[in-house]
């Protein structure tokens, strides 16, 4: 039998099994989502890495994940980022004084001097009464 016939016969016999293994294997070994396995500190570190790479959209998402899980430094930084908005971080990061107020208040409740300063700055804004009426609790980020 010629070598090409042996290879083609092997392909005909093995191909369905190889295809099935290729389709089933990734589904069986799918890793759990990052949000289930990463700690708040890991999300905060990923946010810092994204900031150093200039990926501010990812930075904001990771900060929210870390802050939601209770990381104090992430809460402080998130309030700062949301106060500065596009002035420092470009169009992917919108300034949001309502959400900044939320994170600053959480940090303040935990005894953060940075959170206290941010809270004082936010309370010193002229349009805070209007902002407070319009503010709703921010969504839960996972």
Q: Is 81 a residue whose pLDDT tops 60?
A: yes
User: pLDDT tens-digit profile of 45-59?
Assistant: 999 999 999 999 999
The pLDDT tens digits of the residues spanning 82-105 come to 999 999 999 989 999 889 989 999
Single pTM value for the model: 0.69
Instruction: Assess contact for 63 and 42: CB atoms under 8 A.
Output: no
Question: For 125, which DSSP code?
Answer: S
Q: Where are the domains of the chain?
A: 1-30, 39-134
CATH of domain 39-134: 1.25.40.10
33 contact partners, CB below 8 Å, separation of at least 6: none
Average per-residue pLDDT in the chain? 79
Least confident of 73-87, 104-118, 120-134: 120-134
Average pLDDT over residues 67-96: 94
């Amino acid at each position: 039998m010629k070598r090409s016939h042996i290879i083609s016969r092997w392909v005909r016999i093995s191909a369905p099994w190889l295809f099935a293994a290729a389709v089933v294997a990734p589904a069986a070994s799918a890793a759990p989502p990052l949000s289930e396995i990463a700690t708040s500190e890991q999300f905060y570190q990923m946010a810092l890495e994204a900031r150093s790479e200039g990926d501010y959209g990812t930075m904001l998402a990771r900060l929210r994940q870390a802050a939601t899980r209770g990381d104090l430094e992430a809460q402080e930084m998130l309030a700062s980022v949301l106060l500065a908005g596009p002035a420092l971080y470009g169009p992917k990061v919108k300034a949001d004084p309502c959400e900044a107020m939320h994170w600053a208040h959480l940090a303040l409740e935990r005894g953060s001097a940075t959170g206290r300063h941010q809270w004082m700055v936010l309370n010193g804004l002229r349009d805070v009464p209007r902002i407070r009426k319009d503010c709703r609790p921010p969504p839960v980020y996972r």
